[in-house]
């Protein structure tokens, strides 16, 4: 296993060995329960599907309840993690945070960003806006010209304009694990992670960092 499902609890700060303040995000990662095993023969790849959290049966579909029945609970969310050792796990097995992460590890955290609604170009794309003098009239925060007239006679696709902002799946890479609280199943990672408080996140071992020799 190289990851767990978790919940973002919020940001705080810790002190390192040198007394320096370290901004961290607290993530409750796991414990997760194995729901299903993917095999090369049946599915074409090997992975472990785990469940996190719990909810009332009436809030889930009959198919979802049946899928989770073997694991013994109706989970809040499911996720798959690729591994070449899927056969070593069993359905219903509980995976805890200390089995995967330890202080000093580098992780990637995936979450859904906060929703900002319909945003203008200054907030959405960091445009500078227009000058506040010399005759500027009612277009201080506007985008300016978005195209020509006769040619090309249209606006190019991908033009940065006002529109819906946020609520997108994003991954913050190479965050260092500062501390692991095994009792509370909380992971403290340096820096910020996508999403708001109580938002669901996936914590995985970093893919752009060389693994330890052992």
Confidence band (pLDDT; 50, 70, 90) for 148?
confident
> pLDDT above 70 covers what percent of the chain?
98
DSSP state of 97: G
| Beta carbons of 96 and 185 less than 8 angstroms apart | yes
Cis peptide, bond prior to residue 214, ω within 30 of zero: no
C-alpha dihedral (13, 14, 18, 21), degrees to nearest 10: 10
Decide if pLDDT at 210 tops 80: no
Instruction: Please measure the distance between the N-terminal and C-terminal CA atoms of the chain and give it in whole angstroms.
Output: 16
Across the beta sheet with 77-82, the strand order is 77-82, 47-52, 32-38, 94-95
Residue 181: band (very low, low, confident or very high) from pLDDT cuts 50, 70, 90:
very high
> Does the pLDDT at position 211 exceed 70?
no
Strands 47-52 and 163-165 come out as unpaired
pLDDT for position 214? 63
Element of type H or E holding 122? helix 121-125
Strand ranges (E), 130-190: 163-165, 169-181, 186-190
pLDDT of 46-61, one tens digit each? 999 999 988 898 999 9
Domain ranges of the chain: 3-115+169-205, 116-165
Output the pLDDT for position 190.
95
Rounded CA-CA distance 202/171 in Å is: 9
Decide if 1 contacts 204 (C-beta within 8 A).
Answer: no
For residues 80-107, average pLDDT = 90
Report the C-alpha gap between 94 and 82 in whole angstroms: 17
How far is it, in rounded angstroms, from Cα 1 to Cα 56?
28
pLDDT at 61: 92
203 falls in which pLDDT band (50, 70, 90)? very high
Q: What is the pLDDT of residue 213?
A: 67
What class does CATH assign to 3-115+169-205? mainly beta
CA 25, 28, 34, 36: dihedral to nearest 10 degrees? -50
Q: How confident is the model at residue 97 (pLDDT cuts 50, 70, 90)?
A: very high
Predicted local distance difference test score (pLDDT) of residue 17: 87
Name the DSSP class of 184. T
What predicted TM-score, i.e. pTM, was given to this entire model? 0.85
pLDDT at 212 over 80: no
């Amino acid at each position: 296993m190289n990851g767990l499902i978790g919940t973002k609890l919020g940001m705080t700060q810790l002190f390192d060995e040198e007394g320096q303040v370290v901004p961290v995000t607290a993530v409750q990662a796991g414990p997760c329960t194995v729901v299903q095993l993917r095999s090369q023969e049946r599915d074409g790849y090997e992975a472990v599907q785990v469940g996190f959290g719990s909810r009332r049966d009436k809030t889930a579909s009959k198919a979802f309840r049946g899928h989770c029945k073997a694991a013994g609970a109706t989970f809040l969310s499911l996720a798959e993690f690729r591994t070449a050792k899927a056969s070593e796990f069993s359905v219903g097995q509980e995976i805890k945070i200390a089995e995967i992460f330890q202080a000093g590890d580098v992780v990637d955290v995936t979450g859904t960003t906060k929703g900002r609604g319909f945003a203008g170009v200054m907030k959405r794309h960091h445009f500078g806006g227009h000058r506040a003098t010399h005759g500027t009239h009612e277009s201080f925060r506007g985008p300016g010209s978005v195209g020509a007239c006769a040619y090309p006679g249209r606006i190019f696709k991908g033009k940065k304009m006002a529109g819906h902002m946020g609520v997108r799946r994003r991954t913050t890479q190479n965050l260092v694990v500062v501390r692991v609280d095994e009792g509370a199943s909380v992971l403290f990672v340096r820096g910020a992670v996508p999403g708001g408080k109580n938002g669901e996140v996936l914590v995985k071992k970093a893919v752009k960092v060389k693994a330890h020799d052992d």
